[in-house]
Each structure stands twice: as C-alpha cells, then as structure tokens.
C-alpha cells in the first residue's frame, strides 16, 4: 500500500466526515460506491473538490472514465500519480 493511498483514505474520512471509519478499515481495492464504502454522487463531488485542493488534480466529471477513476482508492491513487507526471 502506497503513502498516497493512505493519504487518500485519510482525505476520504476527513472530507466526508466518516467518523466511524479508520484508514485501516478501508481496503485500497474496495469499491468506493454502492456495496463497497457506500459513497454516493454528492460524496464524489466533495471528494473531487478535496482532491483538487490537496493535489491540484482535476477530475472531469464529463470524462467517460470518471467511474473507473473513482472505482477504488487504488484507482484514485493511480490517476493522481499519472496526472502529476
């Protein structure tokens, strides 16, 4: 597990006020939406803003691959790393 994945987990917990969730309680491969962590579209918007502020990376909601980007913590980390390079 990368440092970026742990940072993202902490960002998810803080930005979405998931008080009953810990970094260790989020699997990097687990789905963020529906059966996984259970996030919804409002959470996606808030998380997208938090990522933009912290990492200066913009996730375009109109892109076809936005569902793939938000699939898991690992997928988000991969996207952020690719955008930074």
**Predicted confidence (pLDDT) at residue 61 exceeds the cutoff of 90:** no
Q: How confident is the model at residue 1, as a pLDDT?
A: 63
Query: Three-class SS of residue 83?
Result: helix
Q: How confident is the model at residue 64, as a pLDDT?
A: 77
Q: Are 13 and 25 in contact (CB under 8 A)?
A: no
The domain that holds 39 is classified in CATH as 1.10.1200.10
Reduced DSSP (H G I as helix, E B as strand, rest coil) percent helix, strand, coil of the chain, to 5:
55, 0, 40
pLDDT digits (tens, 9 = 90+) for 4-60: 999 999 999 999 999 899 999 999 999 999 888 999 989 999 999 999 999 999 998
Q: Which residues on neighbouring strands pair with residue 33, listed in sequence order?
A: 39
Q: How confident is the model at residue 10, as a pLDDT?
A: 97
* Residues spanned by the domain of 12: 3-84
Q: How confident is the model at residue 19, as a pLDDT?
A: 87
Exposure letters 6-24 (e unless 16+ CB within 10 A, then b): bbbbebbbebbebeeeeee
E strands, the chain, are: none
Mean pLDDT along residues 55-81: 91
The total number of structural domains that make up the chain: 1
């Amino acid at each position: 597990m990368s440092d970026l994945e742990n940072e993202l987990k902490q960002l998810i917990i803080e930005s979405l006020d998931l008080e009953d969730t810990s970094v260790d309680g989020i699997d990097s491969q687990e789905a963020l939406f529906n059966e996984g962590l259970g996030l919804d579209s409002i959470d996606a918007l808030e998380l997208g803003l938090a990522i933009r502020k912290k990492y200066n990376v913009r996730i375009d909601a109109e892109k076809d691959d936005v569902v793939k980007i938000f699939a898991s913590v690992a997928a988000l980390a991969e996207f952020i790393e690719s955008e930074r390079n």
